[in-house]
Amino acid sequence: MEPIIKHMESKILISVEQLSRYYGHQLAVDHIDFTLSPGEVLGFLGPNGAGKSTTMQMITGNLAPSEGRIQINGIDILDQPRLAKANIGYLPEQPPVYRDLTVDEYLDYCARLHRVSAAQRGQAINRAKRRCGLLAVSRRLIGNLSKGYRQRVGIAQAILHNPAVVILDEPTVGLDPNQIREIRELVRELGETHGIILSTHILPEVQATCTHVQIINEGRLVFSQSMQELEKQLVSHVLVLETREPLTDEVLEKLPGVDRSERLGPSRAKLHFSEKNPAGAVAASIAEHGLGLVELALDRQTLEQVFVELTCRDEHLTTEDAA
């Protein structure tokens, strides 16, 4: 059976509403809401035990929610599970490949599982192999391929039936830098025609491939922004200054364009500003006082800092409350 791919204009490919999951009395996922649209690559982040895997299992239909609603390409996954799942391609963290089959044999087997019709099977397999760079290894045993190529085979099985949504769980774990770069490029290409959810612990991977970022912690969504919004948030308004000679309070107070300074040592300080970056004027002032400029750079915040702040803050508060 072929998945029903609806028109892509202004479609919501995944709609999650008030999604919750209990394990006994333990609330693992706490009333989360989000959507995924065509052309979006959503980086789904969270520390171990945050509820990320549970959420992914509910979205793919492998685990029933305790509360809430999931729609895949407009189809309720509880009301019409087979039809909804036909719109999903899924790559688990451990690719479900059979090492004693060739690439062609395995993809033919997966195409049958996805109910791709016999008339369209060959075309679907060739399209997936071409998109994943597998044409040259079609007749090779999967067990003889590198891990990078086995990941490609795993992604190929996920897109064989041309699903609206592709969910990738840690697709670059254990790969070398060249393989990681190739898989990232493939994910970006898939994001042009599908909605992608990318679950990963590798934060630079999110910044390199994703259009949106979500962070889940203790079962709750604590961060959800487009990458464009995030980049604006990460723009720094702090300069780190270091000089060869000690910085006096008088010099720091008179630095042009600086709202306030924060000492980090006798010759090192953070300079906070709100308007235009005053680096040029600060450098000139330091030279004028003969202090010898060693460093003057933006103290740029990273996604890692945002992640740590959001996922460690609650743990810190809980520890304090328990003390």
What is the C-alpha to C-alpha distance for residues 112 and 118, in angstroms, rounded to an integer? Answer: 8
pLDDT digits (tens, 9 = 90+) for 62-98: 999 999 999 999 999 999 999 999 999 999 888 889 9
What is the C-alpha to C-alpha distance for residues 300 and 270, in angstroms, rounded to an integer? Answer: 12
Q: How far apart, in Å, do the first and last CA atoms of the chain sit?
A: 58
What is the C-alpha to C-alpha distance for residues 151 and 154, in angstroms, rounded to an integer? Answer: 5
- What is 236-298's CATH topology? Alpha-Beta Plaits (3.30.70)
Lowest-confidence region among 16-30, 147-161, 171-185: 171-185
Q: What is the pLDDT of residue 318?
A: 42
User: For the chain, which residues make up each domain, given as ranges?
Assistant: 14-225, 236-298
Average pLDDT over residues 161-186: 88
Distances (CA, A) of 49 to 61, 216, 218: 20, 10, 7
| Within this chain, domains 14-225 and 236-298 share the same CATH topology | no
pLDDT digits (tens, 9 = 90+) for 223-282: 999 988 887 777 778 899 999 999 999 999 999 999 999 999 999 999 999 888 999 999
Thinking of the domain 14-225, which architecture would CATH place it in?
A: 3-Layer(aba) Sandwich (3.40)
Per the DSSP assignment, residues forming a β-bridge with 41 are 196
HSE-up of 316 (CA within 13 Å, CB side)? Answer: 6
Q: What is the pLDDT of residue 40?
A: 94
Residue environment code for 35-56, b if the CB has 16+ CB neighbours within 10 A, otherwise e:
ebebebbbbbbbbeebbbbbbb
| pLDDT band (50, 70, 90) for residue 10 | low
Q: What is the mean pLDDT of the chain?
A: 88
Residue environment code for 236-249, b if the CB has 16+ CB neighbours within 10 A, otherwise e:
eeebbbbbeeebee
Structure tokens at 307: 């992640």
Burial of 17 (0-12, 13-18, 19+ CB in 10 A): middle
Whole-model pTM? 0.76
Q: What is the pLDDT of residue 313?
A: 58
Q: What are the two backbone dihedrals, phi and then psi, of residue 113, each rounded to the nearest 5 degrees?
A: -60, -35
